[in-house]
Structure 1
Amino acid sequence: MAQFRIRQYRDEDYEVVRTLFAHGMLEHVPAVYHHFLRSWQAQLGLLVLVAVVRAAAGGWVPALGAAALALLGAWLLVRSLAATYVQDALGTDLRDIRAAYLRAPGSGFWVAEAGGAVVGTVAAVPAPEPAALELKRMSVRREQRGRGVARALAREVLGFARARGYGAVVLETSVVQVAAQRLYEGQGFRKVGAFSPSLLGRLLYFQVFRYRCELPAAPGAPPAPPGRPAAPPGPAQ
């Protein structure tokens, strides 16, 4: 039996929801960094840098120092990519959660609660494409992962979408969030596209995957709301 429950967001959840989201996103910084370092472009660039500096300076010490500085610079760029995304979210929809998700038609925000504490979040808003709902802000506290919390939150959004006549649910997640990709694919989502969220993302060979789950029409469900205006693409959920 699940030791948690899914309920609608309440105003007293505000600070913990924002903190949970921020911590969850920043957890991915090491994975993004390692993903960048594993790319052949990064490895080739590092080798070329070492060779050029060694030839110019005539020794290994300056060459290895240049490599260390390059690795530090890459780490700072990855950290900047994640921090910028978090600050943007905290300053937009997560600044006024009630206005963004509870007052807006066809939207919702839910939390998973265990032992009286919020341990997970998920949100949904009408997607830019017609008759589709977008799953957003999925995050689960680290110590609660592997217990079915994320699966239950995803199913909450899918059920919400079916009940309101949406024909599909879409979402975005990053290349390094392998566990999230498997979770969504297990719920019927299929990858339909990939893109880099920014110039910095392209420099770091960081991609965001877009997923879509087609929904059968529920008997008696109302027509789905129209899609919302398209927004600039962002990084992962």
Structure 2
Amino acid sequence: MSKTKNILISGGSGGIGRAIARRVIEDGYSVINLDQVPPKELLASETFHRVDLTDAKATQGLIVDLLKTTSILRLVNNAGIIRPGALEDVSLDDFNAVMDLNLKAPMLLAQSLMPAMRTAQFGRIINIASRAALGKEERTAYAASKAGLLGMTRTWALEMAHFGITVNAIGPGPIATELFTLGNHPDHPKTKKIIANIPVKRMGEPEDVAHAVALFLDDRASFITGQVLYVCGGITVGLSNAA
């Protein structure tokens, strides 16, 4: 059994990250939220640290400081950006920005926390990937980063299994975050088409993803590692263009 109930969540101030923070606190955990933007209101058992996760030195320095006083054996790599564009429109700046946050930051956070997890012979790492890892138009950089995150998930799972550390990934499909709803009004034909192509006939909610994360975080999930759970309403079963 684990010795601590602290969970480090990257990008925990809004959207899916916020839902994860709320859910795990309801489950009795404490949240350490790393984000560039503070949450509108701190939750009970939440601490917030402002950091640019694409700044390797700042990120590593913050983790070193946190570990001086706090035991952290659970990590949710949630922070990410999209930068959409067709292949011919993808700039190197956009590509690098996506990779820095979506791939490099999760690796740095996992590296920083791994020694403590090894010592404790316990750890939980959950990477928030995306259905886009399977391929999606205008997502060259994003899809590549999320596919890479799945590759790292499987690799880390194999490397860390004998230390009692599990590593799994969640692949959300179309999720009705505030950002999505802002750009996709429920009555818009495009939004209706998205919903029509989802087998369960509704958009996903951030809480749906949070529920899956809670499963992987549990002490009792020690025999589940290297897996990808698609929280997508069924669109990965046979459909490719739902969202």
Global fold match (TM > 0.5): no
Structure number, greater radius of gyration: 1
Normalised by the length of structure 1, the TM-score is 0.30
* Structure with the larger strand share: 1
